[in-house]
Amino acid sequence: MTLTDIWARKKPSFGFVSTRFAGADGVSLETKKWVEVLEAKGCRCCFLAGKLDTPPESSMLVPEAFFQHEAIEEINEALFARKERTPRVSERVGQLKKRLKEAVREFHARFQFDILVVQNAFAIPMNIPLGLALAEFVAETRIPTIAHDHDFYWERQRFLSPAALDYLCAAFPPVHPAIRHVVINSIAGRELSYRTGAAWTLIPNVLDFKTLPPEIDDYTRDFRKEIGLSEEALLVLQPTRVVSRKGIEAAIELVRRLNMPNASLVITHEAGDEGLSYLRRIEDYARFMRVDLRLIADRVGLERGFNKEGKKVYTLWDVYPHADLVTYPSAYEGYGNAFVEAVYFRKPVVVNRYAIFEADIEPKGFDVVAFDSYVTEETLRQVHDILRNPKRREEMAEKNYMLGWRYLSYEMLEEKLESILTDIYGS
């Protein structure tokens, strides 16, 4: 059977399961991209999660699957915060596992999908009963399964708890002949093999490079004015959440040391689920460095519209075309959605050489301003050269876009999925 035959003759259907498929988190975004590629090949997709914005006719909502469900939060508090395993906690985990396994069985019976796709629920233990339930379901049914593992428990200090160790060994991730593991970076893949012996396929974050990025239109033309910037201002974009691993201090320092009039650092996302202390630090640091900081999370949403104050809301993709420079000074990333997006929108990027960048992105030849941990005079020199030289910017943008199309595109994703299907169904 050729690769083309797999799509044309098998036409497999896919059942996606996770804690949530809603919003702009990395798992939800990458799932939507997989679904677009699969549906373009004529494959049917359906969804189970604890929070959903997927089509109702192909979705099954199971509240206990959500990691912020009250019962799941109680388990997580006991196991990971207090590091306390009591008989009551074990009993509650077992009860929820049984309930969730029944839900997964009902999901399969209702939609009759051929391949199960577990989106990160086998990797990060945000919902231990869900991971255990899915592992048992796979073992009992031997259904072909793709485990799309975005980040593993051993990458997060807070999950290294002896109270949960048996659960982590059983299902985060499970190893079974029916399961094909997909990782988003090679470092995670090598660690997965070292810890479990499991084979893996590398599929990084992707975008549809075949479709040109949107440009400024009538709706977005006033974006700069709406956030209080002039058309002449240097808009340095930090398109990330405000969490400590994003290294936003380096972006603030960069803007300050560029010493350019009317330069502003614009941050598009909110603080997220890690508290507000880092946000306060960033605000204080920007004042200390005398950098104009614009926090516009209340003006950026999944769809265009208006916020509670009646002000216009833009999508993230409405914002990118207005950027003069994108900063990405993260200390750690699973891969880097913002990096891929900046390449897609043909924007110059200043990036810290975090581990995954060094291992998986830099060797591909992307033309960026890269620094090691802190901004140097050479960093500033390169940024000034880019900002003052339109020809240099255009050459950089074109080279990066074509590399993105080669390595980070829907076409690449389709080829990788074909390879997995060949392994499942045979050649």
pLDDT for the residue 273: 60
Task: Mark residue 28 as left, alpha or beta (left: phi above 0; alpha: psi -120 to 50; beta: remaining).
Answer: alpha
- Rounded distance between C-alpha atoms, residue 351 and residue 254, angstroms: 11
The CATH class of 3-206+410-425 is: alpha beta
pLDDT for the residue 1: 42
Which phi and psi angles does 295 have, rounded to 5°?
Answer: -95, 110
Cβ-in-10-Å burial (0-12, 13-18, 19+) of 353 comes to middle
pLDDT for the residue 26: 84
**b or e along 148-166 (b: 16 or more beta carbons within 10 Å of the residue's beta carbon)?**
bbbbbbebeeebebebbee
Pairing of strands 45-49, 312-315: unpaired
- Strand arrangement of the beta sheet that strand 179-183 belongs to: 59-61, 45-49, 14-17, 115-119, 145-149, 179-183, 200-202
pLDDT of the chain along its 427 residues, tens only?
445 567 777 789 999 999 999 987 889 999 999 999 999 999 999 999 999 999 999 999 999 999 999 999 999 999 999 999 999 999 999 999 999 999 999 999 999 999 999 999 999 999 999 999 999 999 999 999 999 999 999 998 899 999 999 999 999 999 999 999 999 999 999 999 999 999 999 999 999 999 999 999 999 999 999 999 999 999 999 999 999 999 999 999 999 999 998 999 999 998 866 678 999 999 999 999 999 999 999 999 989 999 999 999 999 999 999 999 999 999 988 888 899 999 999 999 999 999 999 999 999 999 999 999 999 999 999 999 999 999 999 999 999 999 999 999 999 999 999 999 999 988 6
Identical fold between 3-206+410-425 and 223-407: yes
Residue written as token pair 């994003």 = 246
In sequence order, the β-bridge partners of residue 326 are: 237, 349
For the domain with range 223-407, which CATH number is right: 3.30.310.10, 3.40.50.300, 3.75.10.10, 3.40.50.2000?
3.40.50.2000
Q: How many CA atoms lie within 13 A of 358 on its CB side?
A: 11
pTM: 0.90
Q: Which residues contact 349 (CB under 8 A, 6 or more apart)?
A: 325, 326, 327, 328, 339, 342, 343, 368, 369, 400
Q: How many other C-beta atoms can be found within 10 angstroms of the C-beta atom of residue 377?
A: 8
Residue written as token pair 């169904």 = 425
Nearest to 192 by CA among 205, 180, 207, 210: 180
Q: Which residues contact 139 (CB under 8 A, 6 or more apart)?
A: 174, 176
pLDDT for the residue 25: 83
Measure the CA dihedral 296/302/307/310, to 10°.
100
Nearest to 327 by CA among 291, 363, 300: 291
Rg (CA), the chain: 22
pLDDT tens-place string over residues 327-367: 999 998 888 889 999 999 999 999 999 999 999 999 999 99
Nearest to 136 by CA among 115, 122, 157: 122
Domain extents in the chain: 3-206+410-425, 223-407
Q: Which two tokens stand for residue 380?
A: 């500033």
List, in sequence order, every beta strand (DSSP E) within 372-424: none
